[in-house]
Amino acid sequence: MKSFSIPIVMLICLFSVNAMAQSGDSAHHKRHKFALYAGAGPNYYFNNLQLAKSYASVYNYSIVGRIMWEPEHFLSLGLETGYYRLYTMKSADSNDIHIANSAVPIQIVVSMKFLHNFYFNASLGQSLLMNDVHSSKYGNFDAKSFSPGDFTATLGSKIQVNDRFSIGAETKFFYSSRANDCNLAFVFIGGISF
């Protein structure tokens, strides 16, 4: 737990400074302080498999969802989750084996806006890793485990459609520490402020 205390203290200090900076500027009052984002898109898995590397399908998909507290200025804080299909694998022999490896991250997000429509997100947290194996000869072998120290870095752009709705696109790099799994996703995203 000590490894998470330093980033949490840093986040609290960062947002305290941001809140003090906002209190001095009362001329621009943003009506909506929270936003909900959801999106999906393709991803590419950086293949680090030792066995059967050539059978892995590295092009898959990612689904993303996050809720953010968005004050008036450049920094935002939130929680992100989703579903990342890391890779799938199918055997070419008579055993008919199908493997799907996926991750469900649960991460704290810090977002910083720059250049009007662009932002950078840094996320840190845990992921539920799911390894689903199906064999027509031997049955199903499914396993789940937690990866304790995962992170995501996101570079995105969004356009406000109106006062409440926005659309955009993000490039997301996800790293899972348990098996050194990495993927890069291009996600189309929509948001609603409330």
- The residues spanned by each domain of the chain are 36-193
pLDDT at 21 over 50: no
Query: pLDDT of 152-173, one tens digit each?
Result: 999 999 999 999 999 999 999 9
Question: Cα separation of 150 and 144, whole Å?
Answer: 16
DSSP-based three-state secondary structure for 75: strand
Task: Look over the chain and give the mean of its residue pLDDT values, rounded to a whole number.
Answer: 87
pLDDT at 58 over 70: yes
Question: Cα separation of 64 and 68, whole Å?
Answer: 13
Question: Cα separation of 168 and 157, whole Å?
Answer: 5
**Predicted TM-score of the model (pTM):** 0.81
pLDDT at 4 over 80: no
The CATH code that applies to domain 36-193 is 2.40.160.20
pLDDT value for 150: 96
Residue 161: exposure state from Cβ atoms within 10 A (0-12, 13-18, ≥19): exposed
Radius of gyration for the chain, computed over Cα atoms and rounded to the nearest angstrom: 19
Query: pLDDT of 77-105, one tens digit each?
Result: 999 999 999 999 988 776 688 999 999 99
94 vs 183, which has greater pLDDT?
183
The arithmetic mean of pLDDT across residues 29-37, rounded, is 80
| Tokens (6 digits) for 18 | 């941001």
Residue 114: exposure state from Cβ atoms within 10 A (0-12, 13-18, ≥19): exposed
85 vs 54, which has greater pLDDT?
85
